[in-house]
Amino acid sequence: MTERHWEQVYDENAPRDTAFEELALHEKLTETWSQPKGFLGWLMSVDHKSIGRRYIVTAFCHLLMAGMLAMVIRVQLAYPDLQVLDPDLYNQFFTMHGTVMMFLFAVPMVEGVMIYLVPLMIGTRIIAFPRLNAFSYWVYLAGGIMVWVAFFINSGPDAGWFSYVPLAGPEFGAGKRSDIYAQMITFTEVAALAVAVEIIVTVMKFRAPGMTLDRMPILVWASLITAFMIVFSMPAVVVSSTFLILDRLIGTHFYNPAEGGDVLLWQHLYWYFAHPEVYIIFLPSLGLASQVVETFSRRPMFGYRAIVLALIGQGFLSFGLWVHHMFATGLPRLGNSFFAASSMAIAIPSGIVIFCWMATIGTGRVRLGVPMLWIISFFVLFILGGLSGVMLASVPIDLQITDTYVLPSHIHYVLMGGAVCPLIAAAWFWFSKLTGRSLQTSLGVLQWALFLVGAFVSFGAMFLLGISGMTRRVYTYPHNMQWDTLNLVASLGAWAIGLSFLVLLLNIALSLRSRASAPNNPFDAPTLEWSTSSPPAIYNFARIPFVQSRDPLWDERGELPVVSGLRVDTREILVTSAVTADPEMREHAPDPTLWPLIAAIVTSVILVASIYTPQALVWGAPPLAIALVAWLYPKHILAPRPEAVPEEETI
Amino acid sequence: MSAPRIIRDVSRLPTYSSGPSNPMWWGTLAFVTIEGLGFVFGIAVYLYLQTHNRSWPLGPQPDLLWPSILTAVFLLSEIPNWWLKKRSSHHDLFWVRIGLAGMSLIGLAVIALRGFELTTLNIRWDSNAYGSIVWFLIGIHTTHVLTDVFETIVMAVLMFVGPVDMRRFAEVNDNQDYWDFVVLSWLAIYITIHWLPRWLEVAP
């Protein structure tokens, strides 16, 4: 990029980081980057670390609440003929459990982790479109509140987490329960799509200079691929849930066969989204696990490129699997065979990742910290889940065991193993970075043991129950079916998992109360976020690092090389080129503001009100338009004025 | 604390740019992709329902007159839109103001034409699945027209009232790229709704 005369005119005399010593620079940047103090300032925050933490804490609350529903479900099923829950309430319990776990815990949790970690890992100060990020959080929060309030007033969704029509349609889905479900989807998809766009742009444009695509940490790759998967899969569920709510509220006939509609249309659209969704949860978990494996093996990752290609391969293949959820619906045989083949094919990239990790561990100098224990339980549980998945991918077997307890067993092995274990490993790994405190190892090992035994026992018993013919989603069973013991065992295992989370809560509470502060890089990890303080300063990096390898903190044992010249009197960040990360432009990060919150409140009122009257979309539009204009309308001159730029400079 | 290892000075980098070097361009592209996929799925559902019914369309077809006039206006609007982007790339504030005002007026005309079109669809959304998908496709497109025309008017006000700095021109370009998307998506819907059934009728 050639130097331009007018830039020297524009802000030549502005104060820059070059003029400051370390301590003075810290004070100046803190003053420039901090949001206003107090509760109002908290509401105005657009800092990716604050918003990421809010996502993580909120998603964790959803995990605990939906987990409690599971505990009650396992009480109901512990003995035959129990009446703790009646059939109607049982429907709401298992639907809420699945819906909240998938839409309000798992996906938002990985989003929160990406929001918090990605900017730190790529060496920048913000996430792209930080106000949109704040908006997405408030919308997500509102959606979660709506669905739990509905549940507590006996209007919780009750047609299963995939909410098949016609059960969820206007004919059989009485009351507002399925409308709540469809609108909950809208809330979460608005939030998820916004986060996906932010992550894509952050990774493409805000990487520290020198961090070529080939030098990105694997978690950043996984986040980028996940964001693309959200972009390409979520529109399908936007369309399907919109059809559902239109059918229910204004009498359209998308899913009504009597008027030319089709019920299987829902399943196609839904699974086109929801199968990739499993990988949207799983891919970041692979990324998290990769960072832990690399650090605890104390060597650079074996087969970095193979892993990245395998992640991309999983991203693509996951879009070609959706019909394997529909083998029992009577679709043409040839189509089924194709989807069976692609379902088995996706085991190949998953295998590549696992083998690369094993090679890394095998050739490294392994330390067995608590995060590594969780990685081991991830291996065990996920491989069991994966094997039952290959079984289900086979059409003849699937036809026999569809709608039995094999299915819940499979999904719990896969998601508890493939997502919850890596997430807890990540919680352990990055806890000190987030909070500046450390967790207690003894309690961590206790929790891990309770969880692993509980998961193995509970889901193993569910698998055997499925093989012996117990169907899913029944609220109780008679005594003479030979299912009594296995159900009790499954319940005991589930309660052990519940207990393990109580231990985790206790551990977190104890560590937050302790005064001992954690070091900046307790595990000697190689990526950039560990070069910041624990927790990181509001501006992340006092000077933007210059990256020269994949594992900068291992290869540069002394001071990291940096770039200089950013302004310190405004919130300035560095924009770099998409592939080679060459510095291209200085940009001003948006200031903290209340408008994203206001826009989110207006959006939420419109979405909830539209369940009761479609007119809400009409009278809600003007206030939303006002909020968006106030949010986006520029207030300051932050670049040269057109008249200050000489004619020959214009391109 | 040792002195920082500074190996590059970025203080002379520009504070504005357009196209792929600007993060906003990527954001616009990402949202266009998301919304474009919304149209793709909508059209896919139209075709899916068509293959699941013995006869199609289920009922009278919408009139051809207003949507065809609308299509012509959309296509003609690409000329001033292309010109406006060119002026904006040259950072020509005077003509960018005129161009945005003009595109706002064209946008309002398009909304009026869409209003006429909605009165001649000849079927209701609650008549049958055909009516539902036709209204859905035109409905989501109308939402895009309304939001983009509103945005164009806000951009016009901004360029007249200020604050105007060099970053605004990239935003104008992104806004006019978005208009291209609105036009292109309409062409796809227009052909799907109005011409596909007619072509299939003629085909043996």
Least confident of A148-152, B49-53, B100-104: B49-53
Considering only alpha carbons, which residue of chain B is nearest residue A252?
B126
Strands A561-564 and B5-9: parallel
CATH number for the domain that contains residue B59: 1.20.120.80
| B6 neighbourhood in chain A, CB within 8 Å | 18, 543, 561-564
A520 pLDDT higher than 80? yes
| Contact between B166 and A635 using a beta-carbon 8 Å cutoff | no
User: In whole angstroms, how far apart are CA B59 and each of A23, B51, B55, B130, B160?
Assistant: 75, 16, 9, 8, 49
Q: What pLDDT is attached to residue A615?
A: 92
Instruction: Map tokens 């954001």 to a residue.
Output: B27
> Contacts from A82-90 at CB under 8 Å and sequence distance 24+?
A82/A476, A83/A476, A85/A475, A86/A475, A87/A475, A88/A158, A90/A475
Q: Partners of B5 in the beta sheet?
A: A561
Q: What pLDDT is attached to residue B2?
A: 63
Asked if A58 and A140 touch (Cβ cutoff 8 Å), the reply is yes
Q: Residue B104: which of B77, B138, B79 has the closest Cα?
A: B77
Phi, then psi, of A601 in degrees rounded to 5: -65, -45
Percent of chain A with pLDDT over 90: 84
Task: Please indicate, yes or no, if residue B88 is contained in any of the structural domains.
Answer: yes
| Contact between A566 and B31 using a beta-carbon 8 Å cutoff | no
Percent of chain B with pLDDT over 70: 98
| Contact between A563 and B168 using a beta-carbon 8 Å cutoff | no
A647 pLDDT higher than 80? no
| B16 neighbourhood in chain A, CB within 8 Å | 585, 639-640
| Contact between B15 and A564 using a beta-carbon 8 Å cutoff | no
Instruction: Map tokens 């087969």 to a residue.
Output: A303
State the count of interchain CB pairs (< 8 A) between A and B. Answer: 218
B1 pLDDT higher than 80? no
| Contact between B126 and A252 using a beta-carbon 8 Å cutoff | yes
Cβ atoms within 10 Å of B66's Cβ, excluding its own: 18
Task: Please indicate, yes or no, if residue B7 is contained in any of the structural domains.
Answer: no
| A587 neighbourhood in chain B, CB within 8 Å | 15, 23
Write out the two tokens for A312. 């991309």
CA distance B84 to chain A (A): 15
Task: Please indicate, yes or no, if residue B3 is contained in any of the structural domains.
Answer: no
**Segment B125-131 mean pLDDT:** 95
- A386 pLDDT band, cuts 50/70/90, is confident
CA–CA gap between residue B97 and residue A532 (Å, rounded): 46
Q: What pLDDT is attached to residue B98?
A: 97
CA–CA gap between residue A77 and residue A474 (Å, rounded): 9
Task: Please indicate, yes or no, if residue B54 is contained in any of the structural domains.
Answer: yes
Burial category of B145 from C-beta neighbours within 10 Å (exposed 0-12, middle 13-18, buried 19 and up): buried
Q: At what angle do helices A107-121 and A421-435 cross, to 10 degrees?
A: 50
Task: Please indicate, yes or no, if residue B1 is contained in any of the structural domains.
Answer: no
A651 pLDDT higher than 60? no
**Segment A6-14 mean pLDDT:** 67
Write out the two tokens for A574. 């560095």
Alpha-helical segments (H) within A484-559: 484-513, 552-555
Plot region of A40 (φ>0 → left; ψ -120 to 50 → alpha; else → beta): alpha
Asked if A291 and A527 touch (Cβ cutoff 8 Å), the reply is yes
Q: Residue A110: which of A349, A286, A259 has the closest Cα?
A: A286
CA–CA gap between residue A418 and residue A222 (Å, rounded): 14
Plot region of A16 (φ>0 → left; ψ -120 to 50 → alpha; else → beta): beta
CA–CA gap between residue A461 and residue A593 (Å, rounded): 52
Structural domain including B42 reads: 22-202
Q: pLDDT tens for residues A317-346? A: 999 888 888 888 888 777 788 888 888 888
Q: What pLDDT is attached to residue A323?
A: 84
Considering only alpha carbons, which residue of chain B is nearest residue A561?
B5
Q: Residue B174: which of B151, B204, B140, B144 has the closest Cα?
A: B151
Q: What pLDDT is attached to residue A9?
A: 52
This prediction has a pTM of 0.95
Q: What pLDDT is attached to residue A333?
A: 77
Q: What pLDDT is attached to residue A5?
A: 43
Percent of chain B with pLDDT over 90: 85
Kindly tell me the sign of the dihedral angle through the C-alpha atoms of A71, A74, A76, A78: negative
Chain B contact probe: residue of A126, A199, A201 with most B CBs at under 10 A? A201
Q: Partners of B72 in the beta sheet?
A: none
Task: Please indicate, yes or no, if residue B10 is contained in any of the structural domains.
Answer: no
Task: Please indicate, yes or no, if residue B44 is contained in any of the structural domains.
Answer: yes
Task: Please indicate, yes or no, if residue B31 is contained in any of the structural domains.
Answer: yes
CA–CA gap between residue A436 and residue A573 (Å, rounded): 25
- B18 pLDDT band, cuts 50/70/90, is confident
Structural domain total, chain B: 1
CA distance A629 to chain B (A): 8
Q: pLDDT tens for residues A221-240? A: 999 999 999 999 999 999 99
Q: In the predicted model, what is the mean pLDDT of chain A?
A: 93
| Contact between A4 and B130 using a beta-carbon 8 Å cutoff | no
Q: Where are the beta strands (DSSP E) in A78-151?
A: none
